[in-house]
Amino acid sequence: MRIGVIAIQGDVSEHVEALEAALSHRGKEAEIVTIKQKGIVPCCDALIIPGGESTTLGKLLVREGIADEIKQIKNAGRPIMGTCAGLILLAKEGDEQVKKTHQYLLGLMDTRVNRNAFGRQRDSFEVELDIDFLDSTYNAVFIRAPAIVQSGKDVRTLSRIDDMVVAAEQENVLALAFHPELTADTRVHDYFLAKLF
Ligand code: GLN
């Protein structure tokens, strides 16, 4: 098995470490590859799109020819997880700002996102979150976090804060508004790996 982490920008090494921890927790082995150029995504059995700055990430994914490869592996049914900026990129539709700036979105989930859903006052925060697939709460780190504000019928809500969806999945695509790679709790990466093994 080979798991790719998009490494154009953002918190890449933390995802690699979290994957390693979750793999050893499951007693499984996989090759983890970081991806900066085209040609590698098609060889991956699963893919992570990390947090960062979604405008920059989107531009570079297109420029490097990686965006189309991601769409292809989505259509091939391989698991994809996007965290924070990754959740934004996976969406079909953005907020007014996204539309005005013609920001690139992959459009792999039937979701509409608000890029900075929690506003300036709450730039970064941690919260004990109830997540559908976990049997106890998860300490989630949010950093200038987005949220899903509208979703189609095929999207399953996994967690919410008030009326905002902060974790969701649609078929093989999992999106999280928070940063599961920044805490020692590997249960989210574990859930993602369960789609592979
Ligand atoms: N809100 C940021 C954006 O629009 C994402 C923040 C993050 O990934 N930590 O790109």
pLDDT tens track for 108-144: 999 999 999 998 767 899 999 999 999 999 999 999 9
Backbone phi, psi, residue 126, to 5°: -120, 145
Per-residue pLDDT, averaged over 69-77, amounts to 98
Pair 182, 141: CB distance under 8 Å = yes
pLDDT of residue 47 exceeding 80, the answer is yes
Total domains, the chain: 1
pLDDT of residue 33 exceeding 80, the answer is yes
Say what the pLDDT of residue 121 is: 61
**Domain of 121?**
2-193
CATH at residue 29: 3.40.50.880
Per-residue pLDDT, averaged over 65-85, amounts to 98
Tell me the CA–centroid distance for residue 27 and ligand 1, in Å: 33
Tell me the CA–centroid distance for residue 26 and ligand 1, in Å: 30
Task: Examine the residue annotation and report whether 181 is marked as an active-site residue of this protein.
Answer: yes
Q: Tokens 């109830």 belong to which residue?
A: 130
